[in-house]
Amino acid sequence: MNALSIPTWIIHISSVIEWIVAIFLIWRFAEVKNLPAWRSMSWGMLPSLVSAMCACTWHFFDNAVSLDWLVTVQAATTVIGNGTMMAAAWWIWKNRSVEPADVE
């Protein structure tokens, strides 16, 4: 666990917690506003959460060479997460309710 300083650990852990809270809040927003397309963003954020957890796990074990495969999983889930969040944003855009503009 010596691979990172205490302040860096605080940033890593708080970022993971922040991501979990963001997923939860987006899900709740979808429920409260009755916008089910927004749930797709919560699902789309999960691969990025896996990526962050891979990084924290690897660092927790002092960047052990035997866990180098976690770096590959982290990279893959980052790419997948970027794609799923892009797809979720497109789905939200596609399912938006368009109000007619006030024309004077």
State the Cα–Cα distance between residues 74 and 41, nearest whole angstrom.
Answer: 19
Q: Which of 64, 51, 49, 54 is nearest to 2 (CA)?
A: 64
pLDDT digits (tens, 9 = 90+) for 53-94: 999 999 999 999 999 999 999 999 999 999 999 999 999 999
Confidence (pTM): 0.85
pLDDT digits (tens, 9 = 90+) for 15-26: 999 999 999 999
Size of the chain, expressed as the number of residues it contains = 104
| Token digits of residue 83 | 């794609």
Average pLDDT over residues 27-53: 97
What's residue 22's pLDDT? 98
7 has pLDDT over 60: yes
Cβ proximity of 63 and 34 under 8 Å:
no
